[in-house]
């Protein structure tokens, strides 16, 4: 499993991660981010794309 962290001090709700993997990342009606904190290894490519496309470099993955 891959652990996903988002630094909420950095996140500015751009929604890049939501566009890449809408099943793993969501914005609520106030544009606050929520996400799946443990993700199967099969989704590594999506997670890496999210990490590298986040304008605030707020996403970190582990494992």
Length of the chain: 63
Q: Does 43 participate in binding other proteins (rule CB under 8 A)?
A: no
Using CA atoms, how far apart are residues 24 and 46, in angstroms rounded to an integer? 9
60 HSE (CA, 13 A, CB side): 7
Q: Does 52 participate in binding other proteins (rule CB under 8 A)?
A: yes
Q: Does 63 participate in binding other proteins (rule CB under 8 A)?
A: no
**Binding to other proteins in span 2-41, by CB under 8 A:** 12-16, 18-19, 22, 27-29, 31
The residues of the shown chain that bind other proteins, judged by CB under 8 A, are 12-16, 18-19, 22, 27-29, 31, 48-49, 52-53, 55, 57
């Amino acid at each position: 499993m891959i652990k996903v962290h988002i630094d909420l001090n950095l996140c500015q709700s751009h929604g890049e991660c939501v566009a890449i993997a809408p099943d793993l990342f969501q914005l609520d009606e106030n544009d606050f981010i929520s996400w799946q904190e443990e993700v199967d290894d099969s989704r590594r490519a999506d997670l890496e794309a999210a990490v590298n496309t986040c304008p605030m470099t707020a996403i970190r993955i582990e494992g």
